[in-house]
Amino acid sequence: MTGDAIRYCIALSHIAHIGDARLRYLLARYKTVDALFAAPEKEIVNRLNNAFSRGSVGTFDKNELLDRADKILRESAERGIAVITYDDERYPAMLKHIDNPPFILFAMGNTDAWTHNAVGIVGTRYPSHASLRYAFTLGAQLAAHGVWTISGMAKGVDAAAHWGAVSAGGRTVGVLASGLDQVYPAENRNLYERVIASGGALVSEYPTGTIPEKFNFPKRNRIISGLSSAVVMVEAAARSGALITTRYALEQGRDVFIAPYDETNTRYFGNHRLYKDGATAAASYEDILNEFDDRFMSDEFYKTAKLNHTPVRIEKPEGYIPALSRPEEPRLFISQPTLKPAAAGSKHNPPQPVIPAEPLPEKDALVFGTITSRTHIDDIAVAARLPVHEVAAALMRLEIQGAIRQEPGKLFSRI
């Protein structure tokens, strides 16, 4: 698309109440952006109001729209922001097949990002520590296996997933509900920089100068799911806005996974609803990759990572802020392990055996009692006489507290 055509696209997108669907309707009638922009203003308005609801689009001044477009193009160029229209070869192919794809995308960083396998990781802005750890670990493990992480750059689960990916040397895509010149929340400034520096990308359908309005976030979520082969819900209450992303995912034909959860905790009522609707529980990254391995192997990035894979040590990167802005509910988990002093020449501090600080919750104690050495999750479920998703939730809590460790193949051992 020529420079003038991109300029016209941006200008037309700023007609009041125009929207992506109406723009595509006009392009289908006029065939080219140049022909559309050359049409009389009154003719464009009449076409739209006849095809859609009357009065939905008012009059406009092309010169004013062009001035606005020029300002956006100038600011984008100054910030290194690429402007990608629907007809651009860089436009994500997966997005073209969703309902109402964005007509224009603004992107910073690696605009090749969305040609690779990706999994969306979403959840509440105010997660539990367990959910933060799960999101961070999942982002890191997927990245280590050559799978990109897609999320929304919000605080909480989103930020943890992005940080996990970059901590493992992987790549991630952040989808914003504002212009790319806006850092929201402000605490994520380091994360913005790390995403780009690691070879990832930031993307938005909103031009520079657009602040993160409330109504932008639900609309943004269709892009997160649209860029993903699957979406993982980490933590969502019954009415969490994060559930909008999984709704879009289902409408778009994407697979939906859920993190292990406690069905008696209101924090996870959204997870439980998804489980009852058919979502798959993902105790670890293996549950996701087992479903997608054949499909993902067509991506050289994934294939190379799989052939060269070595276990990743998951560490918090410099600048990581796992903000919890609301107090957590009391939890009856075992205490964090204490560490012995490192032996001379030792690379790691081996953990001491964990001694419960207080009685474990009944299900956790039951699950812990079935674990010996390298016990498979299915065997644990049989021995404990519990559903696998409840066992997975208990295992995650025990692992977070340092009582057990997970090994490849869904095997668990006491520490």
pLDDT at 192 over 70: yes
pLDDT at 298 over 90: no
Total domain count, the chain: 3
Residues 139 and 209 in one domain: yes
Q: Does residue 36 fall inside a structural domain?
A: yes
Tell me which of 79, 101, 129 is where a domain ends. Answer: 79
Q: Does residue 220 fall inside a structural domain?
A: yes
pLDDT at 181 over 70: yes
Task: Report the range of poorest mean pLDDT among 25-34, 63-72, 177-186, 319-328.
Answer: 319-328
- Contact status, residue 175 vs residue 220, Cβ threshold 8 Å: yes
Residues 129 and 258 in one domain: yes
Model pLDDT, residue 381 = 87
Supply the mean pLDDT for the chain: 84
Which residue range is the domain that position 241 belongs to? 113-307
3-class DSSP state for residue 36? helix
CATH number, residue 345: 1.10.10.10
pLDDT at 73 over 90: yes
Residues 301 and 338 in one domain: no
pLDDT at 310 over 90: no
Residues 126 and 57 in one domain: no
User: Tens of pLDDT along 234-260?
Assistant: 999 998 999 999 999 999 999 999 999
In 3D space, the residue among 131, 97, 132, 100 whose CA is nearest the CA of residue 114 turns out to be 97
Residues 278 and 340 in one domain: no
Residues 194 and 65 in one domain: no
Question: Based on the number of CB atoms within 10 Å of its own CB, is 370 exposed (0-12), middle (13-18) or buried (19 or more)?
Answer: middle
Task: Report the range of poorest mean pLDDT among 48-52, 214-218, 221-225.
Answer: 48-52
Residues 353 and 253 in one domain: no
Residues 143 and 262 in one domain: yes
Edge-to-edge strands of the sheet including 404-407? 375-376, 411-414, 404-407
Residues 41 and 131 in one domain: no
CATH number, residue 260: 3.40.50.450
Give the 3-state DSSP-derived string for 115-176, with helices as H, strands as E and coil as C: HCCEEEEECCCCCCHHHHHHHHHHHHHHHHCCCEEEECCCCCHHHHHHHHHHHCCCCEEEEC
Output the pTM of the full model.
0.76
Q: How many whole angstroms separate alpha carbon 199 and alpha carbon 180?
A: 16
pLDDT at 261 over 60: yes
DSSP string covering 355-402, please? --SSPPPHHHHHHHHH--SSEEHHHHHHHHT--HHHHHHHHHHHHHTT
